Homo-oligomer: A and B are copies of this chain.
Amino acid sequence: MSNQNLYNPHVSVDCVVFGFDGEQLKVLLIERSINEQNELYNDKKLPGSIILNDEDLDEAASRVLTELTGLKNIYLSQFRSFGGPDRTKNPRDILWLENTTQLKIGRIVTVAYVALIKIDRKIQVKNDNTQANWCNLNEVATMNLAFDHAKIINKGLEYIRHNLDIEPHLLFELLPRKFTISQLRSLYDTVHQTTSDVRNFHKKVAQWTYVVALDEVEEGVPHRAARLYKYKK
């Protein structure tokens, strides 16, 4: 157990990373393979890990996200901790934890973060056999997820739904640098679970001083091209 002085095996961080493909919200999940009695078992998990001993929680979340996805300088918001005594009781999860950490694992309390990122950012695995993929949010319910990660994703979604009202700026983390009003409206409606009127939405955006029109239109569409806008804080 050589990691003993490096890692704190009682606390972890998990990152719920949301993206938007123009139609729906997606969440970034890591493929996990477990060799269980010589049968290979595959499922998915959130990017996360136990924390280092000398590391703050926010630092741990950033580090873990970079290690597992290559993503750097991502704005992460802590939204909730999960610590039910049963969350690390599944034998498959324990097996995987002890294999990957080389530590004896008891109960782990996890501190969960959300991040919103542009979906076209390169997700590059740096080291081993981990593989990160975008998954449709509405398929999460039907997938096999490690630990209580399905619950964590749902709570993360709730969190951004409430907090984008307070922080509308976060929306733009999910859009390309240049975007159309249609894209913005589609995202807005997806997050807020509304269907807003096209004209009224244009009026609303017109008052957002941080959305500025560019002298460009989109290209390669088989119809009238829409004007492009950018976000300026």
The distance from the CB of A55 to the nearest CB of chain B, in whole angstroms, is 7
Please tell me if the beta carbons of A83 and B57 are within 8 angstroms of each other in the complex: yes
Please tell me if the beta carbons of B53 and A85 are within 8 angstroms of each other in the complex: yes
Which residue from B8, B81, B106, B166 sits with its C-beta under 8 Å from A81? B81
A residues 47-78 with Cβ under 8 Å of B?
51, 53-57, 78
**Within 8 Å of chain B (Cβ to Cβ): is A80?**
yes
A residues 76-94 with Cβ under 8 Å of B?
78, 80-85
Q: Specify how many copies of this chain sit in the oligomer.
A: 2
Q: A78-B80, A166-B162 are in contact. Are A54 and B85 (CB under 8 A)?
A: yes
| Docked pose: A190 CA to B57 CA in angstroms | 32
Report B-chain residues with C-beta under 8 Å of the C-beta of A10: 8, 10-11, 109
Measured as residues with beta carbon below 8 angstroms from the partner, the interface class of chain A is 20 to 34
Report B-chain residues with C-beta under 8 Å of the C-beta of A54: 85
| Docked pose: A123 CA to B57 CA in angstroms | 34
Please tell me if the beta carbons of B111 and A8 are within 8 angstroms of each other in the complex: no
Report B-chain residues with C-beta under 8 Å of the C-beta of A51: 83
Which residue from B55, B85, B109 sits with its C-beta under 8 Å from A85? B55
Interface membership of chain A positions 1-45, coded 1 if the CB is closer than 8 angstroms to chain B and 0 otherwise: 000000010110000000000000000000000000000000000
**Within 8 Å of chain B (Cβ to Cβ): is A227?**
no
**Within 8 Å of chain B (Cβ to Cβ): is A230?**
no
Besides A11-B83, A55-B85, A83-B111, 20 new A-B residue pairs in contact (Cβ under 8 A), listed by A number: A8-B10, A10-B10, A10-B11, A10-B109, A11-B11, A51-B83, A53-B85, A53-B106, A53-B107, A54-B85, A56-B83, A56-B84, A57-B81, A57-B84, A57-B109, A78-B81, A81-B81, A81-B111, A109-B109, A162-B166
